[in-house]
């Protein structure tokens, strides 16, 4: 039995394109894997801790071989708890809408909270970083409203997929499946491309 964790970065609920595609994926996945555990983590639900001055100081203490203390200890405990929730899964489904050419700030906050030494990564002064979240796989739903492949720079740029996939690979997750619905709503092909994206989500779930 495996555990799949759906991590959502969209705050739009029933109006969210990325969540609609994630539901298509999960409906098929649950049907094909009835014994697997499927968890949900809505990053907007208030459970994601901040990573402010106390947490940053604690991180530097850990890098220096020290034990965080005071407010830093509490902040570090919160980061460790968030990472434990993340690391408990074998598979991940991320729903990632495009915000201002990149990812929503809540997803960046998630990355900053869990990406800690000894958790998401190791570091060697000679060899550099090494990802520690290995042996897992991820499916990512990317959506956008204005940006679209092949459109000019007036329609935006893609710092969404390259950034997030780069983080996954840096963390040690190399088995990545992508589903994209980035049709550029200035076109007249939205319905057709949405249908293609839904079909791609279903096919991705069948082999995940």
Provide the residue range defining the domain that includes 159.
3-206
Judge whether residue 60 has pLDDT over 90: yes
Report pLDDT digits (tens) over 86-142.
Answer: 999 999 999 999 999 999 999 999 999 999 999 999 999 999 999 999 999 999 999
Question: Which pLDDT score, from 0 to 100, does residue 36 have?
Answer: 98
Cβ neighbours of 40 (radius 10 Å): 13
- Label residue 141 exposed, middle or buried (CB < 10 Å: 0-12, 13-18, 19+): buried
CATH number at residue 18: 3.40.50.360
pLDDT of 151 > 90? The answer is no
Q: Compute the distance between CA of residue 165 and CA of residue 93 in angstroms, rounded to an integer.
A: 13
Global confidence as pTM: 0.95
> How does residue 85 score in pLDDT terms, banded at 50, 70 and 90?
very high
Separation of alpha carbons 48 and 112, rounded Å: 11
Is 90 exceeded by the pLDDT of residue 149?
Answer: no
Q: Across the chain, what does the average pLDDT equal? A: 95
CA-atom Rg of the chain in angstroms: 18
Query: Closest by alpha carbon to 3, among 90, 82, 85, 133?
Result: 90
Closest by Cα among 99, 115, 100 to 51: 115
* Inter-residue contact 34 to 20 (CB < 8 Å): no
Number of domains into which the chain is organized: 1
Counting residues of the chain whose pLDDT is more than 90, the rounded percentage is 89
Is 80 exceeded by the pLDDT of residue 184?
no
């Amino acid at each position: 039995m495996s555990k799949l964790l759906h991590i959502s970065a969209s705050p739009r609920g029933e109006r969210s394109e990325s969540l609609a595609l994630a539901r298509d994926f999960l409906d098929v996945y649950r049907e094909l894997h009835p014994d697997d555990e499927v968890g949900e983590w809505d990053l907007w639900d208030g459970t994601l801790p901040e990573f402010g001055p106390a947490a940053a100081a604690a991180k530097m203490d850990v890098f220096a071989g020290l034990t965080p203390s005071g407010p830093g200890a509490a902040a570090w405990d919160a980061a460790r708890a968030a990472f434990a929730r993340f690391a408990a899964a074998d598979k991940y489904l991320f729903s990632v809408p495009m915000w201002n050419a990149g990812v929503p700030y809540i997803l960046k906050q998630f990355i900053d909270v869990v990406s800690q030494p000894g958790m998401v990564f190791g570091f060697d002064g000679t060899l550099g970083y090494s990802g520690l979240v290995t042996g897992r796989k991820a499916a990512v739903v990317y959506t956008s409203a204005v940006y679209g492949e092949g459109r000019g720079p007036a329609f935006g740029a893609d710092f969404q997929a390259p950034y997030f996939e780069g983080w996954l690979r840096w963390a040690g997750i190399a088995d990545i499946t992508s589903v994209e619905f980035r049709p550029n709503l200035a076109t007249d092909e939205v319905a057709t491309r949405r249908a293609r994206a839904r079909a791609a989500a279903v096919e991705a779930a069948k082999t995940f």
